[in-house]
Amino acid sequence: MRLLKATAEACANIAFIKYWGNRDHERRLPANSSLSMNLAALRTRTTVEFRRDLESDTVQVDGRELGGKALDRVVSHLDRIRSLHGTLREKALVVSENSFPADAGLASSASGFAALTVAAAAAAGLGLRTDELSRLSRYGSGSACRSVPGGFVAWDAHDEDDRSFGRTVAPVGHWDLRDVIAIVDPAAKEVGSTEGHRLADSNPFQKARLEGSTGRYRAAVSALLARDWDRLAAVIEEDALALHAVMMTSRPSLLYWQPGTLAVMRAVRGWKAQGLQVAFTIDAGPNVHCICTAAATGEIEAMLASVPGVMHILSSGVGGPAVVLSSSWAGG
């Protein structure tokens, strides 16, 4: 058997309607449907090479070799790909680079697992469709399934594994929205999302959040398709606050906000009152994503720079699907 080496690239994504909690943790089947926008400026490029001369999987991210739980998670994902192939036993050399600063405190698991899945599946010659690649990425990190298709992506909640994947609801060119990210604390998060999803199970506020989530998801999809900024902005903020209400009331409590987080949220509220088309959203961390229209971007970037606690700003437009950039015969 000849082995391939493949390089793939995937964008990170920012959810307008958040995924939080699972109906099945092992298979990462989500408790609710979510909706996101791929981020063109935040990409992970990953090369996977299955080699006969390797005794164990070796993974480098931004020049550093992974160990411990982070490595185990990638190895488990490579095992899924080897078992789908059937007879592939070779270990892999995985080299991954993020286009955004590793110290920005931004999640790279979505772009990371999407790029890993697409590269490893290509290197193993699996010939999978986009929906199958998305579903497979989901096992590495739930939100990664939304980084496989392009543009604005929905991930519907289902009990069946083969119906749980990301699908494009509107392509890249549908609406020139931007994400201006205010980095207020570059430190890595103390409690990762895998553990956070489990904590939601025993939280009574999660039930209330889920009751409202379907309505918010439908409103967000319809506002997005209609390019109705005011409706979309309202539901983005409401959903982010519902997520953080659950996080804060989990046991142990997940309080991701820093003083700079709140300073940016308040500033965004002020800019909205002045008529700017901007809304905030926050993931499992302190940084604030200011979702805005193209026309508002320059002003938002300029004003964010003087909000107390803002250390850097990253700006992104809507990103495309995960792609295989190259494939060749492997050396080892």
Residues that bind ligand PMV (CB under 6 A): 15, 18-20, 34, 107, 109-110, 141-143, 193-194, 283-284
Cβ within 8 Å of residue 49, ≥6 positions away = 3, 5, 92, 93, 94, 123, 330, 331, 332
CB of 166: closest distance to ligand PMV in angstroms? 11
Q: Which is nearer to ligand PMV, 37 or 276 (CB)?
A: 37
- Cα 124 from Cα 77, distance rounded (Å): 13
Q: Which is nearer to ligand PMV, 78 or 242 (CB)?
A: 242
Residue 86 backbone class (left: φ over 0; alpha: ψ -120 to 50; beta: rest): left
CB of 330: closest distance to ligand PMV in angstroms? 30
Q: Which is nearer to ligand PMV, 217 or 229 (CB)?
A: 217
Q: Which is nearer to ligand PMV, 25 or 52 (CB)?
A: 25
The residue assigned the tokens 């185990």 is 72
CB of 221: closest distance to ligand PMV in angstroms? 15
CB of 122: closest distance to ligand PMV in angstroms? 22
Three-class SS state of 62: coil
Q: Which is nearer to ligand PMV, 34 or 315 (CB)?
A: 34
CB of 182: closest distance to ligand PMV in angstroms? 16
Q: Per DSSP, what are the bridge partners of residue 279? A: 291
The backbone torsions φ and ψ at residue 191, rounded to the nearest 5 degrees and listed phi first, read: -115, 120
- Cα 137 from Cα 121, distance rounded (Å): 10
